[in-house]
Structures are given as C-alpha cells and as structure tokens.
Amino acid sequence: MRLHGSCETAIEIFMKTPIRLLIVDDHVMIRLGMAALMADEPDIVVVGEACNGAEAVSRFEELLPDVTVMDGMLPDIHGVDATRAILARHPDAKIILVSINESAEDIHRAIEAGAAGYVSKSQNQDVIVRAVRSVAGGESFLEPELARRLSARAATNTLSQREIEVLRLVAEGRVNKQIGGELGLSENTVKTHIARIMGKLDVHDRTSLAMRAVALGLLR
C-alpha cells in the first residue's frame, strides 16, 4: 500500500500519459481510418494530421508529438525526406514510415534517414498499433520479414558489379545461355557466377534467387 503523499513512479506516470500521435498521409480516408483505429486504443491519442511533407514538418513543430506515422509517398516530397527534415531540427523525434514499397532499398533509405520503424501498408492494422507502442517506448520496429530483407541487402555489398548484372538477369527470367549472350560470357562462367551469388545470398535455387533480387529492389 502506498503511503499518503508518496510520489508516483516514472513508469506509472508514463503509463497514464497517452502516446501523442501525428498522422501524415495525403489520402483523407486513410487518415480517417487510422484515426478511428487509434481511437480504440486507450493509450494513444491522435493530436494532429498532415496531408503532405511540408505540412508534416510544420505540424510537427507546432505539436511536438511523441510519435509520427509518416506515409512514404507524399505529393510534394518523399516521406523519407520529410523524416530527414524533421530529424534535422528534432533529433529525438520518433517517426514510423508506412509505405506500399517493401524492397530492401526502400527500407534502408528510411532507416538511414533516421526512421525508428518501417511498416508495409499491406500489413494488418494491429501491426501499426504495435509499431507505435514500440517506438514510443524507445524501441525500433521492423517486422522479421523486412528485417531479413534489410540484412540481405547488406549481403549485396559483397557482390561484384558483374554478379549484380547476372542476378538482375536471372530475376528477369533469362536462362544461362541468354545471360551469357547479353553479357559476353560463356555458359560455364554464368553458372559459376550464379553459384557464387547463391552462396553469398544464402539461397539454394534459382527461384529463391530471383525472389531475393525482387525483394532487394534490383528490378526497379
């Protein structure tokens, strides 16, 4: 039992203070849907909305939210650029990028810009709620599949330019003879390149190799 006049702990105060959320998306229906979703969460309150990158920066300055959910594709600037602009003035800002793009390169750009989390728009709504809570608590948020893609991207740093060219052509569905003809290589040399690429990316068949190239954004 707490004695009369004793102080609340910092954790108890934090638990009673709702997470102040700023929603940034150029589609009003998405903003309304996310606001309705958060309205059902007792520990989250939406304090503001923005429909583009410039407004996101100004609204952040005005509201100083605990967490910002940022659409990746805004009509004026990219969500990554808006994130970078906010963090330039507020290094402790906690921003989650929500995007239709799921390639490793997109995820890398967001994390490199300082985003605390990255969520695909194809995920269930409960994922964004978990992301908001995690980021508000000082953690980063990246689902296992997206984290795997980011890790795989790092592996591409070990690929030579020629191996990347071969990988791209494999992902486009070319057979070894076609790849060799386009790159001026023998079929045996192409086979050797593919074997090395598989080893570096830790995949064991051509289909998985093509899927990895797509996930890494090498066809964009």
What is the arithmetic mean of pLDDT over 207-211? 87
In a domain, 152, yes or no: no
Of 188, 120, 127, 179, nearest to 150 by C-alpha is: 120
Tell me the C-alpha distance between 37 and 128, whole Å: 10
Same domain (yes/no): 193, 138: no
What is the arithmetic mean of pLDDT over 167-190? 93
Considering the chain, what is the average pLDDT of its residues?
88
In a domain, 17, yes or no: yes
Answer with the residue of higher pLDDT: 122 or 55: 55
- The pLDDT of residue 202: 80
Same domain (yes/no): 21, 103: yes
> Given pLDDT bands bounded at 50, 70 and 90, which one contains residue 3?
very low
Same domain (yes/no): 189, 95: no
Domain that holds residue 166: 158-215
Same domain (yes/no): 131, 203: no
pLDDT tens-digit profile of 117-156?
999 888 888 899 999 999 999 999 998 888 877 777 776 7
In a domain, 185, yes or no: yes
- The pLDDT of residue 170: 92
- The pLDDT of residue 115: 96
- The pLDDT of residue 155: 67
pLDDT tens-digit profile of 75-110?
999 999 999 999 999 999 999 999 988 887 888 889
Q: Residue 197 maps to which CATH number?
A: 1.10.10.10
What is the arithmetic mean of pLDDT over 38-46? 94
Same domain (yes/no): 105, 210: no
In a domain, 112, yes or no: yes
In a domain, 22, yes or no: yes
Same domain (yes/no): 99, 68: yes
- The pLDDT of residue 12: 53
In a domain, 71, yes or no: yes
DSSP codes of every residue in 16-49:
HSPEEEEEE-S-HHHHHHHHHHHHT-TTEEEEEE
- The pLDDT of residue 9: 57
Same domain (yes/no): 126, 175: no
Q: Is the pLDDT of residue 185 over 60?
A: yes
Same domain (yes/no): 116, 204: no
How many domains does the chain divide into?
A: 2
Q: Print burial letters for 50-70: b (CB count within 10 Å at least 16), e (below 16).
A: bbbbebbbebbeeeebbbbbb
Same domain (yes/no): 72, 133: yes
- The pLDDT of residue 218: 67
Has this prediction a pTM greater than 0.85? no
> Given pLDDT bands bounded at 50, 70 and 90, which one contains residue 51?
very high
- The pLDDT of residue 8: 56
Q: Residue 60 maps to which CATH number?
A: 3.40.50.2300
Single out the residue in 145, 176, 199 at which a domain terminates.
145
